[in-house]
Structure 1
Amino acid sequence: MASRIFSWLPSIPYPPSQDGRWSPVTSTLNWCEEDYYATIYAAEIVNTLTNLLFMYLAVKGIDNCLTNGHDRIFLVTFAGYLIVGTGSFLFHATLKYPMQLVDELSMIYTTCLMCYATFSYRKSRRFATGLAVFLVCMALFITLYYHYLQDPTFHQNAYGLLTAIVLFRSVWIMEINIRPKFRSQEREAANPRPNRGPQAAQDQEDLRDEEILRQMWTMIAWGLSIFMGGFAIWQLDNVFCPTLIRWRRQIGLPWGIVLEGHGWWHLMTGVGAYFYIVWGIWLRHCLNYRQDDYELVWPRLTSMPVVVKHRTRHANGYHNGSAKKLE
């Protein structure tokens, strides 16, 4: 059927699979992309190269942290994000079990970093130290138990649970600390807004924060939709793998690449995770009442957001601090 529909497209046949530079496969997972059909140096060429987006966004995030002085925890998180992309690149290129561990466990470790950033904010040093010890022990347990089980379902469930906890906690912190009607008196007492002026100025700040929240929710919804969309495509790739392989061979190259579902998972989860880290950076500055020192630059939905220092201020001393209007 697929060959009849797309017969008008110029294409070349898929080469047969062959032994590769890294044969034999020792990983406990092997994805729907056929092995070593394009080159002997990459077991899964599409799944390998789609990780380049991870690496690019990680370098972009690291550069942004260094240039704009964001909290060090986010610099470390982007470094972990880079390791995730690099580990996945090596895993899909080789399909070796050690590279599989680098790929999958670095996802756990990076999420633990975000968990620390989320739960340790404005806590005592004793609490932060205890949380760090707990997260290190938990990461060690997941590492050892996963190596013992060698069951990818355990890793996927652990990663999904950690990600959900961090996401819901971050949303809770965002709402109760930034939305004017929820902003607690305890927060104001513990971390009062600088330069509290007359009521008119406070009302202006509240309007600014409402606009920031609107943009944050847009970022959350967009990033989460991309992430979950990638997950859905990956699941379809798992369920309909034999059919997809047959269609790819009927269509031929390069068009068959579009049906590589796990490659789409890399691209879409890479973007979704980047959105989440940038949101965390922007949220941290807002919690520190630095909305007038930084801004979220996100001109349109299809662009990658960044948080940067303000270069100029309005003449009245205020800057709206919100994301640039989406086109």
Structure 2
Amino acid sequence: MAPTTASFDQVGYWSPNTASVDWCESNYVVTYYIAEFWNSVSSLFIILLGELGLYLCPTKERRFKVAFRTISVVGIGSVLFHGTLRHKMQLLDELPMIYAATALVFICTETKYGPQGQWFPIGLATWLAVTTTVVSIFGGKLQFYTFQASFGVLQLSIIYLTTTLHRQQKAVIAARGGTNESTWLIQRALGVYFFAVTIWLIDLHLCEFINGVGPDSVLRWNPQLHAWWHVFSITGVYFTTLLVAYQHYVGKGLSPNVYLWRGFAPALTLDGASRKKAL
């Protein structure tokens, strides 16, 4: 959290701050109307990747509409949260993150174990309702760490499901004479995301040494690590969502391939027969 200094304590349009966390960016420095300017601007990249993923998705299955569109909703909430540092806006940032991760857990579980029946979506919806209530009611460190714990469990579940599916599908893809491109996706998803988590932890726990304004700062300027966390973390999430989609299509007997849209954005493609089968 941000240290208590004159720079961090500047008053702005949305003051006073009511969120359970105040990140390392100095508040209301760039403009009186935006609490954390760079954290807000970088959140626009989250919206962009969510919409790009939806646009490039080779099929219009509802599960992937939800998966990519919730990424966009996370970005919108992140803009509102960092722009205001208000508790209600924080919920619009954090709760969609839990919903997006839950959507991926649902897809991965059905890909690995097959359709689970009505009990599974009902169970997930009940869990989301309880989590939403707890995170919404409580404030301060309890709210912050409850969210982090819930989101962490979902992340670990996604890592477990995707890596075990990767091993499970190796033989299937080889038998079809294809290339297992999930290896490429896993390496990039984990590499980018773990780098993002590293700079997030530095920003959260070592702010006083890197904020560029406090007496203990070893830097003369703030590197805005939380803003970079937005860029790298959502890139990792994008790779993960592509991985989940890739494994879903393989599980349906299709042959997805990874390509670079416009030469830079990873996306999936299906041949004509596979596309018709998926639809």
- TM-score normalised per structure 2: 0.85
2:276 matches 1:310 = no
Post-superposition Cα deviations, 1:119-140, rounded to whole Å, max 9, x if no partner, equal 234734xx33111000011111
Q: CA deviation at 1:238?
A: 2.0
Q: Which residue does 1:57 correspond to in 2?
A: 49
- Taking the aligned partners of 2:10 and 2:102, their CA distance within structure 1 comes to 39
Q: CA deviation at 1:16?
A: 8.6
- Taking the aligned partners of 1:116 and 1:46, their CA distance within structure 2 comes to 33
Q: CA deviation at 1:173?
A: 2.4
Following superposition of structure 1 onto structure 2, how do residues 112-127 of structure 1 map, counting pairs within 5 Å? Answer: 112-121=102-111, 123-124=114-115, 127=116
- Taking the aligned partners of 2:227 and 2:187, their CA distance within structure 1 comes to 22
- TM-score normalised per structure 1: 0.73
Which secondary structure does the structure 1 equivalent of 2:72 belong to?
helix
Following superposition of structure 1 onto structure 2, how do residues 225-264 of structure 1 map, counting pairs within 5 Å? Answer: 225-246=191-212, 256=221, 259-264=223-228
1:272 corresponds, among 227, 231, 236, to 236
List gaps (5 residues or longer) in structure 2: 1-6, 274-279
- Taking the aligned partners of 2:132 and 2:120, their CA distance within structure 1 comes to 18
- Taking the aligned partners of 2:17 and 2:138, their CA distance within structure 1 comes to 19
- Taking the aligned partners of 2:236 and 2:193, their CA distance within structure 1 comes to 5
Q: Which residue does 2:119 correspond to in 1?
A: 130
Compare CA radii of gyration and give the structure with the larger one: 1
Post-superposition Cα deviations, 1:142-189, rounded to whole Å, max 9, x if no partner, equal 11122343321111111011111122112222322x222xx5xxxxxx
Q: CA deviation at 1:251?
A: 7.1
Which secondary structure does the structure 1 equivalent of 2:121 belong to?
helix
- Taking the aligned partners of 1:250 and 1:146, their CA distance within structure 2 comes to 35
- Taking the aligned partners of 2:56 and 2:261, their CA distance within structure 1 comes to 17
Post-superposition Cα deviations, 1:194-234, rounded to whole Å, max 9, x if no partner, equal xxxxxxxx97x5441xx22xx31122122111111111111
- Taking the aligned partners of 2:79 and 2:260, their CA distance within structure 1 comes to 28
2:107 matches 1:143 = no
Q: Which residue does 2:276 correspond to in 1?
A: none
Q: Which amino acid aligns with 1:34?
A: S
2:71 matches 1:109 = no
- Taking the aligned partners of 1:110 and 1:245, their CA distance within structure 2 comes to 31
2:65 matches 1:75 = yes
| Pair 173,70 (structure 1): closer, same or farther in 2 beyond 3 Å | farther
| Pair 16,140 (structure 1): closer, same or farther in 2 beyond 3 Å | closer
Q: Which residue does 2:4 correspond to in 1?
A: none
Which secondary structure does the structure 2 equivalent of 1:307 belong to?
strand
2:258 corresponds, among 296, 306, 324, to 296
- Taking the aligned partners of 2:76 and 2:224, their CA distance within structure 1 comes to 20
Which secondary structure does the structure 2 equivalent of 1:305 belong to?
strand
Aligned length: 262
Q: CA deviation at 1:243?
A: 2.0
**Percent identical:** 23
- Note the aligned Cα RMSD (angstroms): 2.8
Q: Which amino acid aligns with 1:297?
A: Y
